[in-house]
Amino acid sequence: MKSICGLVVLFFVMLPHAAAYDPLDPTGNITIKWDVVSWTADGYVASVTMSNFQMYRSIVSPGWTLGWQWAKKEVIWSMVGAQTTEQGDCSKFKGNVPHCCLRKPVVVDLLPGVPYNQQFSNCCKAGVVSAWGQDPSSSVSAFQVSVGVAGTSNKTVKLPMNFTLLGPGLGYTCGPAKVVPSTVYLTADHRRKTQALMTWNVTCTYSQFLAAKNPKCCVSFSSFYNQSITPCPKCACGCQNKNNCVVSDSKQAHKKGINTPRKDNVPLLQCTHHMCPIRVHWHVKLNYKDYWRVKIAVTNFNYRMNYTQWTLVAQHPNLNAITQVFSFDYKPLVPYEAISEFLRNHSSL
């Protein structure tokens, strides 16, 4: 008897939150690749590519912020397709002044529509990068950087260290840069291969615990056979934002600029008893012997967030036998066998 009227939803995730090791996306990571494309008189030019190899976690507005620490006294002469947020103290340079002299530069993407000469392939998307599982073609962001006061050969160049990635807000941890086999490029006519002079990779992984100690969504439940709705638990996402929440339809809720996202991703929530940015409501519409049907409604209570390309990840024992999905694109993430067994024993109602 496989039909289940009760359900257990162990794991509901709305972008961009999940666990450090995510069983639904075990190899998920963001890889930042530096390809040295030429040596210069005092350094090198590198093209930097950020690939989001995650199944369902995209980098949403206001976009990524990438930082690192130079190993020596490197400076950034110029950048194409991105910029540092601060120039720092370049007072010791006469004549040409570098783009950035900070020991720890902080880089952000440019906005769409910048002049053509400031663009680079896959740049200028305001730091928004899709998840690979959602849209591989827009899962890459890239820029070019010209580094000075640096090594000028693969023996003398020192790799940048201590990479940090806000995607946006906390959550990502980046490993050390590692020299990897040089990237090979195929010319447009596919008749000749060229290669980077040197390549290094940095891999960043996401941890829900780093991102926030409270959940970001809650699940409420109702069904055709019962009038009462089981709401999200009180303070399901922690109530520490209770003091500066916004009463819906109040004057404040319609104030100009209230929808502007912040780089640190701090939400501005509508006042609710659960204080969650996202509520997922699960309504059982039908329950026959052979199948059941639910309607899922996702509600956003964060005024600063505008989810246009969202992904909802749900784990449920019966999803391995899903037959029809309306209004959603549906994609199974991993084979469900083990998880199904486990859940079935824990279902209630």
Ligand X SMILES: *[C@@H]1O[C@H](CO)[C@@H](O)[C@H](O)[C@H]1NC(C)=O
Q: What amino acid occupies position 318? A: N
Distance CA 320, CA 317 (A): 7
310 forms part of the interface with ligand X (CB under 6 A): no
Distance CA 110, CA 123 (A): 7
User: Which residues, in sequence order, are bridge partners of residue 36?
Assistant: 46, 198
228 forms part of the interface with ligand X (CB under 6 A): yes
264 forms part of the interface with ligand X (CB under 6 A): no
149 forms part of the interface with ligand X (CB under 6 A): no
Distance CA 48, CA 35 (A): 6
Least Å from the CB of residue 117 to ligand X = 25
Least Å from the CB of residue 87 to ligand X = 22
Least Å from the CB of residue 243 to ligand X = 25
Distance CA 288, CA 303 (A): 39
Nearer to ligand X, 118 or 164 (CB): 164
Q: Choose the binding region for ligand X from 89-97, 154-162, 186-194, 282-290 (rule: CB under 6 A).
A: 154-162
Q: Choose the binding region for ligand X from 24-32, 73-81, 92-100, 103-111 (rule: CB under 6 A).
A: 24-32
306 forms part of the interface with ligand X (CB under 6 A): yes
203 forms part of the interface with ligand X (CB under 6 A): yes
138 forms part of the interface with ligand X (CB under 6 A): no
222 forms part of the interface with ligand X (CB under 6 A): no
Least Å from the CB of residue 187 to ligand X = 19
305 in Cβ contact with 325 (< 8 Å): no
33 forms part of the interface with ligand X (CB under 6 A): yes
Distance CA 302, CA 259 (A): 9
Q: Which two tokens stand for residue 296?
A: 């899922």
Least Å from the CB of residue 92 to ligand X = 24
54 in Cβ contact with 30 (< 8 Å): yes
SS3 readout for 187-209? CCCCCCEEECCEEEEEEEEECHH
Q: What amino acid occupies position 314? A: A
Under DSSP, the state recorded for 126 is T
Per CB under 6 A, residues contacting ligand X are 27, 29, 31, 33, 49, 51, 53, 69, 154, 161-162, 176, 179-180, 198, 201, 203, 226, 228, 230, 259, 306, 308, 341-342, 345
